Amino acid sequence: RPKACIFDLDGVIVDTAKYHYLAWKRLAKELGFEFTEKDNERLKGVSRMASLEILLSVGGIQIDDASVKEQLADKKNTWYVEYISQMTKDEILPGVEDFLKMLKENGIKIAIGSASKNTMTILNRIGIKDIFDAIIDGTKITKAKPDPEVFLKAAQELNVRPEECCVFEDAVAGIEAAKAAGMKVIGVGDPSILKGADKVIQSFVGQGIELIEF
Ligand code: G6P
Ligand code: MG
């Protein structure tokens, strides 16, 4: 059984994936093209600037000026922050809080491993910051998923070896990152999309300790 569990934030603890999508869709619309849910899968777990690059390639738009790209990413983030600043505790995904408590009762350490620079804002809004033994977010890393940096840093801060960790992820890039870190990974979402995971769950409702027994 793993000694620690590392949770992605967006799409695992809270459904902020929908707000990221809304904000990117709004930017695409302003740039003159439609951005679909299918295209959006490629953005999940990916850093803000890398997401912008993917969005622009979907729209067939080429921008070379780095400051213009910064402005577009800032615009998206301003909208996104507007959406998440309205979030409440009820937006914690079903079963998550009970699952986290159950892990702690079983002596398992828990951490957040997210690419988002807005992690602290979200955790403060939903009021579950203190339960985590470590929080590694987009402000503490230089390499985005699928690079394993975020998860390796979390393991280090928890004082456990990578192979003693189990990651929970809703994104393909995140699953690749966890595998590259040498960790077990449980996908949260659609098994046909999250093929690389060791297991896939639809939700945390009713999940017990046996979930992380491999
Ligand atoms: C998470 C989300 C991505 C997002 C990234 C950066 O990984 O899944 O959709 O682009 O964080 O988030 P940020 O809040 O820093 O723009
Ligand atoms: Mg995610």
13-25, pLDDT tens digit by residue? 999 989 999 999 9
Residues 137, 162 contacting (CB under 8 angstroms): no
Residues 133, 106 contacting (CB under 8 angstroms): no
Task: Locate the ligand 1 atom nearest the alpha carbon of residue 43 and give its number.
Answer: 9
Give dist(CA 110, CA 129) in Å, integer: 11
Give dist(CA 4, CA 168) in Å, integer: 11
Start-to-end C-alpha separation, the chain: 7
Encoded tokens for 134: 């470590």
Instruction: Supply the ipTM of this predicted assembly.
Output: 0.98
114-173, pLDDT tens digit by residue? 999 999 999 999 999 999 999 999 999 999 899 999 999 999 999 999 999 999 999 999
Task: Locate the ligand 1 atom nearest the alpha carbon of residue 138 and give its number.
Answer: 15
pTM of the model: 0.94
46 alpha carbon – ligand 1 mean position (Å): 6
